[in-house]
């Protein structure tokens, strides 16, 4: 689902950029070894391009494919980053146009909870990742949109709530798809928004 006006403003502002660089990325960076080098990275739901710039800065892959369903986001991301190592494309994360066994590392900054058929997306991540690839994600779940602040977010933001996973369901589905979970960290800053940071490593069967 593309973002409604309220969420477009939440995502497309300097505070979001600050939180992503100073809070989210350091947690994820520490979850996987510092000495692994990456050739190819994928970022799903790249939004306005802040994440892909940070992936380049803190994970240094040779090439980054960054995709988003929303053309507006791709236009903004291309304006923000003029780096030949980053390629932006309009694409559905549940129907990736990349070959099997292609990526060394995949990033998801708060997008899978937007996808009604989120299971298809996780299958696509497993298909396009190499055996041994890392997955780093920052996600919300149906628990993020319950309780008092969560209920308020639910009123303001547009998501496929009926189809949305809870955190355990997300972890279980990742494991069932071959992503061995290395670390998780649950947070709820100021009691405002429950979310998970997670690192996993893909083990393909029959490889």
51 binds ligand SAM (CB under 6 A): yes
The long-range contacts involving 176-179, CB below 8 angstroms and separated by at least 24 positions, are 177/122, 177/123, 177/125, 177/126, 178/126, 178/202, 178/203, 178/204, 178/205, 179/122, 179/125, 179/126, 179/135, 179/203
For ligand SAM, which residue of 55, 114, 170, 171 counts as binding (CB under 6 A)? 114
Choose among 126, 96, 135, 107: nearest CA to 206.
126
Shortest Å, Cβ 172 to ligand SAM = 21
157 binds ligand SAM (CB under 6 A): no
The C-alpha atoms of residue 160 and residue 114 are separated, in whole angstroms, by 6
111 binds ligand SAM (CB under 6 A): yes
41 binds ligand SAM (CB under 6 A): no
The C-alpha atoms of residue 198 and residue 151 are separated, in whole angstroms, by 24
115 binds ligand SAM (CB under 6 A): yes
Which residue's CB is nearer to ligand SAM, number 163 or number 203?
Answer: 163
64 binds ligand SAM (CB under 6 A): no
Interacting residues with ligand SAM (CB under 6 A): 1-3, 11, 16, 20, 44-47, 51, 67-70, 73, 92-94, 109-111, 114-115
């Amino acid at each position: 689902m593309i973002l409604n006006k309220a969420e477009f403003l939440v995502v497309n502002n300097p505070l979001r950029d600050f939180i992503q660089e100073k809070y989210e990325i350091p947690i994820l960076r520490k979850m996987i070894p510092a000495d692994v080098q990456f050739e190819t990275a994928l970022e799903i739901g790249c939004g306005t391009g802040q994440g892909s710039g940070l992936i380049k800065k803190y994970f240094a892959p040779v090439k980054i494919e960054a995709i988003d369903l929303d053309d507006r986001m791709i236009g903004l991301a291309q304006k923000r980053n003029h780096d030949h190592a980053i390629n932006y494309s309009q694409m559905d994360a549940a129907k990736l146009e990349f070959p099997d066994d292609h990526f060394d590392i995949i990033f998801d900054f708060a997008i899978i909870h937007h996808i009604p058929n989120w299971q298809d997306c996780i299958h696509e991540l497993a298909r396009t990742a190499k055996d041994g690839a890392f997955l780093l994600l920052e996600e919300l779940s149906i628990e993020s949109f319950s309780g008092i602040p969560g209920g308020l977010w639910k009123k303001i933001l547009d998501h496929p709530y009926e189809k949305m996973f809870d955190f355990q369901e997300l972890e279980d589905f990742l494991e069932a798809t071959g992503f061995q979970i290395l670390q998780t960290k649950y947070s709820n800053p100021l009691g405002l928004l429950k979310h998970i940071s997670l690192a996993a490593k893909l083990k393909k069967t029959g490889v």
